[in-house]
Amino acid sequence: MNPVIAGLALVFGEALLIGAEMLAAKYFDPADPWALTLLALSVSITGAALLVYGYTFGYREFKNIWVVTGLSLAGMLVVEPAVAWFLFREVPTAGASIALILGMAGIVASIVFK
């Protein structure tokens, strides 16, 4: 198994899960809650399947769960702001930007300093 495929499965799985969450948050309609809920649930199941695949084969390739966890978190740190911007078109506040930068620094530190 190729470690790149496992990493891509983690990133795309995170993207699908985060996208489904944000889509549901933005377009939820109390008058018809099931339409969006079922769509978000189906997208989430696909994302969860990719995450399970990525963790399973990522651990098999890297032989270290912390590397796989770091890849998953790094995927979240890249994907979540992008999805948030594309769906909501909001620029992060100063505090949110600082938190994002510190989170990225923490993830990089955990991967670099083994």
Instruction: Please state the pTM of the whole predicted model.
Output: 0.79
Is the predicted pLDDT of residue 46 greater than 90, yes or no?
yes
> How far is 14 from 41, CA to CA, in rounded Å?
14
**Contact residues for 8 (Cβ-Cβ < 8 A; gap 6+):** 54
Mean pLDDT of 37-46: 91
Domain boundaries in the chain? 3-112
pLDDT in tens, 5-17: 988 899 899 999 9
- Evaluate the CA torsion angle 11, 13, 14, 20 in order and state its sign: positive
Name the residue among 60, 75, 69 with its Cα closest to residue 3.
Answer: 60
The tens digit of pLDDT for each residue in 77-95 reads 888 888 888 889 988 899 9
